[in-house]
Amino acid sequence: MSESLAAAPAIIHSATTGEDWEMVIGLEVHCELATATKLFCSCPNQFGSEPNTNVCPVCLGLPGSLPVLNRNVVELAMRLGRALHCSVEPSVFARKNYFYPDMPKDYQVSQFDRPINVDGHLDLPDGSRVGIERAHIEEDTGKNTHAGAGGRIHGADYSLVDYNRAGVPLVEIVGRPDIRSGEQAKAYVDELRAILLATGASDAKMEEGSLRVDANVSVRPVGSTELGTRCEIKNLNSLRSLGRAVDYEARRQVDLLESGDRVRQETRHWDEEAGRTRPGRSKEEAEDYRYFQEPDLVPLAPDAAWLARIDAELPVLPAERRARLAEAAGVAAADAAVAVDRDLDELALSAIAAGADPSRVLTHVEHNLAVEGAADLDPGHLAELVGMELEGKLTATQAKQVLAEMVTSGQHPEAIARQRGFEAMDVGALESVVDGIIAASPAEWQEFVATTDEKKRGKLTGFFTGQVMKATKGQADGRAVNVLLNQRRAEADT
Amino acid sequence: MSTAADIARAVRAGERSAREVLDAHLEVIDTREGEIHAFNLVLADEARAAADEIDRRVAAGDDPGPLAGVPVALKDNLCTRGIPTTCSSRILDGWRPPYDATVVERLAAAGAVTVGKTNLDEFAMGSSTENSAFGPTRNPRDPERVPGGSSGGSAAAVAAGFAPIALGSDTGGSIRQPAALCGVVGVKPTYGLVSRYGLVAFASSLDQIGPFSATVEDSALLLEVIAGHDPLDSTSIPEPVPPLVAALGEGVESLRVGLITELLGEGISPDVADRVRAAATTLEAAGAVVGEASVPAAGFGLSAYYLIAPAEASSNLARYDGVRYGLRVDAPTVAEMNEATRTAGFGDEVKRRIMLGTYALSAGYYDAYYGKALKVRTLIMRDFAAAYEQFDLLISPTSPTTAFRLGDKSEDPLSMYLNDVCTIPTNLAGHPAMSVPFGTGDAGLPVGVQVLAPALGETTMFRAAAVLEASAPTLEERSR
């Protein structure tokens, strides 16, 4: 279902065989929930504290200690689940058993066959939809630091473990393999981040590790419906890494397959400096996690009233905000994305409702309002500014300057324009300036009139406009100059 | 020696000092502990300080609580702050918990005085206390014989008069079976009635802390102190503690009592079976309506238990990896260090169960073993539920035999496992059950009768136990 809606896939065309391949990407995103305390104890959930200070018998997994579920974790997990259009189900916790020094109990409490959130989806700004298989609750591990050997475990002199992060609540969001390009993968994570922030579920900082992305990548010939053998790419610390890593990995797999080799199912690590993925632990010899129901916790079954409250309190989500603005502005949803990203959609909607030209409003939001305080602009003032522009009372350049001052001073656009002495040139005055410039550059003018080369004409338009601006000290309206130049050219042609 | 109830009464009234009570018990320990080895650690100095504090409080007009000045022995898998807690394993070498178990806090708040940490089968895995890294405990009734297990140290401590009361833990019979073999009272409460916070886990879905004592009343008193909801244990039942001591004298008039037929046949020693039938007669004479009860799936309990308990144990014991506390045997890599530590730190029985449990949970085997065991567990619960529609209580032997000799079964794990055949079904169901001494068998060794009740049926269970106790023949010290 989601596949038919997906954006245009990035086709990998093979120069050697002429075959076209597509990449198939499924993302697993771990995000730390923004609770005050940890998942199973009352230690602070805090980044950046002195090592091993936010710990207690429970999160250290000391013998005899027992977990107690943090209600707020369930609240945030449900909120996130509903924002991802998941169904919230009665769930149980399970133990995932494996040995690792950063894991105090040598098992991770997670959810396995009965996760809290199932079967949702995420709509991306480009109109594509990516399925969400599940979004379950689990505990984070501690963090190892290896001394010597460049920070790697092999050859390290010794290793230190910080358990501050152990027991921090995570939600793992498992996306379906509906993504077809590196760009779409980045858009997915970007959109997910917006939802995490909108719901207050997480601060979603990739650089602090509160949002961590693993990518399952495989390739297949275009037209095939089977899934190829996948590799899981880890160590993706930024959106840029994600895009580069999946593009690299898909290319690597295509090259392997075309040379008659096969893709081995394995975990690979992205090396940002080298710009390539490297093999890690092979999945074929991976451990058996021996999942079983966590006997120290009881099943989780949020009641209908709790769920109803969550739904009622859910904020309007980015996809819906884009759709609203797009409808009001008469543009595609993707064109409303920047306004929503900048939290300026309410401003734009109000300005449009006040009668402003939607396309000018969106242009200002996109190009001139990436500044602090923009959201506090009076939408009525913005509408008036756009009106002044359209009436020719302000040039585009002047409007930009007025707008900047509106943000800082909160003053009315007319007042600002007056103070600055911005008055639109009268059409007659502009005509005489333009005619003067044409007369002063006969060679360029001849060329401008004669050429059929679009590029050249554009360049010459720039030249004449520049001359006019210089002569009028920027007071001329660029669009009006353009109109005049074309008028004169048409006259000269006949 | 006095009962806990008598001691607390006298100490609260200022008639006896806690210190004097303690010293008397320390003297018995001095005399006999060398032979019995009930304790991993005797806390004489700490106990004296605690007893003196109780006395100061009584002198100041305070009431130290329902167990004022009562010496108590704690199984050494209960966490005690700053005091070694070993689980009778080398792997916890040197570890001192930074916190007290909830039951330990509640005992202190009730005025009890901890005299020591008692020996057990390593991590509570065993039925004879021979699987202790620190050597076996002997049965005070006959030191050539085992005290049962895994809470053998606690049972022996009470039987030897080292303390009037003790705490143990019961996963498949580890309180009731040693109580039966040592001739004392032992109680496995309803799962969730007593907080497990601070009990070092063996099998979390089965483990439950419970009392040992010489008298039924003392166990009731002790259980009232330790029971009750604890927010630190998610499986703790949020219900008020049922009244136990106050109901003890209510008798069994018109209670329906069922003899579990499946637990009176093959594998049960005839002298033990005889005592159970005698107990039925006693209850009938006291006004109970006695009949035969059937719990068909109980016969599969042992098999299910030896998959479920090891499976949980394999996970619970993973944390003993040498990284954070306890024993560490150094090796070049982390994985090799883990392996060397666990190889040196765990005894054979623990290793056997970790391997069993790991296997039972493995991909490809889960459904055939662990999954099937869970289904059997459900069947057992269903069969008990059906039985409890007809009966208020059930009775059976606690242990198929009386105490056996040291070394008799330690080479044959299967015959050792069979010791728990009567006690395991209750753990799988999560129900309460207790063992009450009811005379002796062929060799003059104590026999315990098990009284079983549905979940939270402790009040009725204790009433029947009190009736049995009142007509039980007195146990005499066997000549050695």
The 10s digit of each residue's pLDDT in B229-246 is 999 999 999 999 999 999
SS (H, E, C) chain B: CCCHHHHHHHHHCCCCCHHHHHHHHHHHHHHHHHHHCCEEEECHHHHHHHHHHHHHHHHCCCCCCCCCCCEEEEECCECECCECCCCCCHHHCCCCCCCCCHHHHHHHHCCCEEEEEECCCHHHCCCCCCCCCCCCCCECCECCECCCCCCHHHHHHHHCCCCCEEEEEECCCCCHHHHHHHCCEEEECCCCCECCCCECCCCCCCCEEEEEECCHHHHHHHHHHHECCCCCCCCCCCCCCCCCHHHHHHCCCCCEEEEEHHHCCCCCCHHHHHHHHHHHHHHHHCCCEEEEECCHHHHHHHHHHHHHHHHHHHHHHHHCCCCCCCCCCCCCCHHHHHHHHHHHHCCHHHHHHHHHHHHHHCCCCCHHHHHHHHHHHHHHHHHHHHHHHHCCEEEEECCCCCCCECCCCCCCHHHHHHHHCCCHHHHHHCCCEEEEEEEECCCCCEEEEEEECCCCCHHHHHHHHHHHHHHCCCCCCCCC
| Chain B residue nearest residue A102, CA to CA | B323
B225 phi/psi in degrees, rounded to 5: -70, -45
CB count in 10 Å sphere of residue A312:
7
CB count in 10 Å sphere of residue B470:
12
Global ipTM:
0.96
Q: How far apart are CA A282 and CA A87, in angstroms?
A: 34
The whole-number pLDDT of residue A281 equals 61
| Chain A residue nearest residue B339, CA to CA | A99
The whole-number pLDDT of residue A424 equals 63
Closest Cα of chain B to A229: distance in Å? Answer: 21
The 10s digit of each residue's pLDDT in B231-288 is 999 999 999 999 999 999 999 999 999 999 999 988 899 999 999 999 999 999 999 9
The whole-number pLDDT of residue A479 equals 79
Q: How is domain B4-296+382-471 classified at the CATH fold level?
A: Amidase signature (AS) enzymes (3.90.1300)
Contact A290 B338 (CB under 8 A): no
Q: Are B467 and B286 in contact (CB under 8 A)?
A: yes
The domain spans of chain A are 2-312, 316-420, 427-493
Q: Are A211 and A237 in contact (CB under 8 A)?
A: no
The whole-number pLDDT of residue A427 equals 72
% of chain B at pLDDT higher than 70: 99
Neighbouring C-alpha atoms within 13 Å toward the C-beta of A34: 14
The whole-number pLDDT of residue A3 equals 38
Listed as ranges, residues in chain A with pLDDT below 50 are 1-6, 283-284
Contact A64 B370 (CB under 8 A): no
Q: Which residues from B are below 8 Å from A159, CB to CB?
A: 334
The 10s digit of each residue's pLDDT in A272-288 is 999 999 998 654 456 79
Asked if residue A409 has a cis previous peptide bond (ω within 30° of 0), the answer is no
Closest Cα of chain A to B91: distance in Å? Answer: 12
Residue B145 pLDDT grade (very low, low, confident, very high; cuts 50, 70, 90) = very high
Q: How far apart are CA A478 and CA A432, in angstroms?
A: 15
Mutate to test the interface with B, among A40, A68, A112, A290 (most CBs of B within 10 A): A290
Q: Which residues from A are below 8 Å from B233, CB to CB?
A: 66, 68
The whole-number pLDDT of residue B476 equals 66
* Residue among B78, B199, B324 whose CB faces A104 most closely: B324
The closest of B35, B42, B36 to B74, measured between CA atoms, is B42
Contact A107 B97 (CB under 8 A): no
Q: Which residues from A are below 8 Å from B311, CB to CB?
A: 292
Q: Are B477 and B302 in contact (CB under 8 A)?
A: no
Contact A60 B324 (CB under 8 A): yes
Retrieve residue B469's tokens: 């106790």
Neighbouring C-alpha atoms within 13 Å toward the C-beta of B118: 37
Which of A444-458, B32-46, B103-117, B209-223 is the least confident region? A444-458
What b/e sequence results for A2-18 when a residue is b if at least 16 CB atoms lie within 10 Å of its CB, and e otherwise?
bbeebbebbebeeeeee
Q: Are B103 and B167 in contact (CB under 8 A)?
A: yes
Q: How far apart are CA B141 and CA B179, in angstroms?
A: 12
Closest Cα of chain A to B301: distance in Å? Answer: 19
B12 phi/psi in degrees, rounded to 5: -65, -30
Q: Which residues from A are below 8 Å from B314, CB to CB?
A: 97, 290
| Chain A residue nearest residue B230, CA to CA | A68
A49 secondary structure, DSSP code? P
Q: How far apart are CA B128 and CA B173, in angstroms?
A: 11
pLDDT at position B479 over 60: no
Retrieve residue B60's tokens: 């100041």
Contact B204 A296 (CB under 8 A): yes
The whole-number pLDDT of residue A1 equals 35
Residue-averaged pLDDT of chain B: 96
Strand spans (E) along A241-299? 266-271, 276-282, 292-293
Closest Cα of chain B to A280: distance in Å? Answer: 17
Which of A4-18, A442-456, B91-105, B145-159 is the least confident region? A4-18
The closest of B344, B377, B357 to B313, measured between CA atoms, is B357
Q: How far apart are CA A207 and CA A189, in angstroms?
A: 14
CB count in 10 Å sphere of residue B30:
12
pLDDT at position B95 over 80: yes
The whole-number pLDDT of residue A8 equals 58
Helix axes B102-109, B216-226, angle to 10 degrees: 110
CATH of domain A427-493: 1.10.10.410
Q: Are A333 and A301 in contact (CB under 8 A)?
A: no
The whole-number pLDDT of residue A285 equals 52
pLDDT at position B330 over 90: yes
The whole-number pLDDT of residue A334 equals 87
The whole-number pLDDT of residue A283 equals 47
Mutate to test the interface with A, among B96, B232, B308 (most CBs of A within 10 A): B232
Contact B315 A288 (CB under 8 A): no
